[in-house]
Structure 1
Amino acid sequence: MKGQAIYVILFEYFKKYIMGEMNPASCADVISLLKELRKQELEEDTTMLQALETYIPLQANNYPYTVDDDNKKNGAYDCHQHIIDSLKEEKEKEEKKNEQQVVILQGKSGAGKSLFCRHLEEALWETCVNDFTTSIPVYISLPKCYNELDEKQIISQALQMKQINKEIIDIIRENISFVFILDGFDEIFDKYDKNNNERYFYDRFNLNEWNAKIIVTCRSHVLNDEDIKN
Structure 2
Amino acid sequence: MADRTVLITGATGNLGRAVAEAFSKEGARLALVGSRKESIERAYGGLAAEHLALAADLSDANAAAGVVAEVEGAFGRIDAVCAIAGAFDMGGPVHVAPPELAARMMTVNVATMVNVVRAAVPGMIARKSGKIVTVGSTAALKGAAGMGAYTASKSAVMRLTETMAAELRGDGINVNCVLPSTIDTPENRAAMPKADFSKWVKPAELAAVVAFLCSDGAKAMHGALVPVVGLV
Same fold (TM > 0.5): no
Larger radius of gyration: 1
Q: Which has the higher contact order (CA 8 A, sep 6+)?
A: 1
Q: What TM-score does the superposition give when structure 1 sets the normalisation length?
A: 0.30
